[in-house]
Amino acid sequence: MSENLSENIIEVKNVKKIYRMGKEKICALDEVSFTIQKGEFCCLYGVSGSGKSTLLNLMAGIEKITSGQIIIKGKHIHMMGEKSLAKFRQDTLGFVFQSYNLMNQMTALENVELPLIFKHVTTKRRKKMARDMLIQVGLGPRLRHKPREMSGGQQQRVGIARAFVGKPEIVFADEPTGNLDSKTSKEVMDLIRGIAKDNNQTIVMVTHDRRLAEYADKIIHILDGNIEGIEIKEEKDSSISIQEEDVANETESEAVLS
């Protein structure tokens, strides 16, 4: 965990999300509260349908909360209008998706440039920034390749480069290795954690895979829209194998459950 953790960059306070389906009300999240510190790698962990992806969408301002507060960098994002939210996401957030969400007609370089265009970075500078980022994620020889010409792992590396190229303070990752094999998943997770650590960026990742959760400093266990517990992980060796099926059991002694 970063030594510079001293401030809460994200505060979630008594957040409730209710969906209405006809006359029926479905409570997806029920009075959820927690904080995430600057530079922290936080994992929202739980089975499918637990509410973790809904929570991520609320934190990103993609969906609106029913009640409670979500405060990011001191801003009450649940009170922002669409225009202010769009600007806030553009300036502060990066996103890594399970399905990559790349533009198929664009090259890797053009895909990574995209968020910089919206930030009005000059053509020459954004091309250099995108190229440098793709080289950092190991895709130097693939700058001109389009998504369909790359493997799933390579496409996700492009997605990671795109998420991090603008140096956002916070990166949201929704099941970032869901479509990848174990070896490629480890490479992708090492990349995400390594880049974030180098730049003291905050990661909020959703996963149902305990092996991926092991990469986090903090694991928030979510079940049926409630927080079951929060694990604060101790500083540990940077080499984590997500191919070992028994990792979850072996690490219980390293965690503090609160």
Which alpha helices (H) appear in 38-181, and where do they start and end?
52-59, 82-92, 108-118, 123-136, 152-164
What are the structural domains of the chain?
8-257 (3.40.50.300)
**The pLDDT of residue 3 is above 90:** no
* pTM for the predicted model, two decimal places: 0.85
Segment 231-248 shows an average pLDDT of 51
Quick one: which of 188, 195, 198 has its CA closest to 155?
188
- Give the pLDDT of residue 2: 41
Segment 194-220 shows an average pLDDT of 95
User: Which pLDDT band, with edges at 50, 70 and 90, does 237 fall under?
Assistant: very low
- Give the separation between CA 219 and CA 34, rounded to whole angstroms: 11
The H or E element spanning position 3 is: none
Top pLDDT among 60 and 258 is at 60
Cβ atoms of 42 and 202 closer than 8 Å: yes
Per-residue pLDDT of 110-138, as tens digits, reads 999 999 998 899 999 999 999 999 999 99
Least trusted range by pLDDT, from 5-19, 33-47, 204-218, 223-237 = 223-237
Contacts of 191 (CB under 8 A, 6+ apart): 137, 157, 160
Top pLDDT among 235 and 85 is at 85
User: Which pLDDT band, with edges at 50, 70 and 90, does 235 fall under?
Assistant: low
Handedness of CA 65, 201, 93, 161 (dihedral sign): negative
Which two structure tokens, joined as six digits, stand for 147? Answer: 């998504």
Q: For all residues of the chain together, what is the average pLDDT? A: 88
Per-residue pLDDT of 145-182, as tens digits, reads 999 999 999 999 999 999 999 999 999 999 999 889 99
Segment 198-226 shows an average pLDDT of 95
- Give the pLDDT of residue 161: 96
Cβ atoms of 169 and 180 closer than 8 Å: no
How many other β-carbons are positioned within 10 Å of the β-carbon of residue 99? 13
User: Which pLDDT band, with edges at 50, 70 and 90, does 243 fall under?
Assistant: very low
Per-residue pLDDT of 54-106, as tens digits, reads 999 999 999 999 999 999 999 999 999 999 999 999 999 999 998 999 999 99
**The pLDDT of residue 144 is above 80:** yes
User: Which pLDDT band, with edges at 50, 70 and 90, does 251 fall under?
Assistant: very low
Q: Could you give the strand order of the β-sheet that contains 75-76, starting from the edge strand earlier in sequence?
A: 24-37, 8-21, 67-72, 75-76
- Give the pLDDT of residue 6: 57
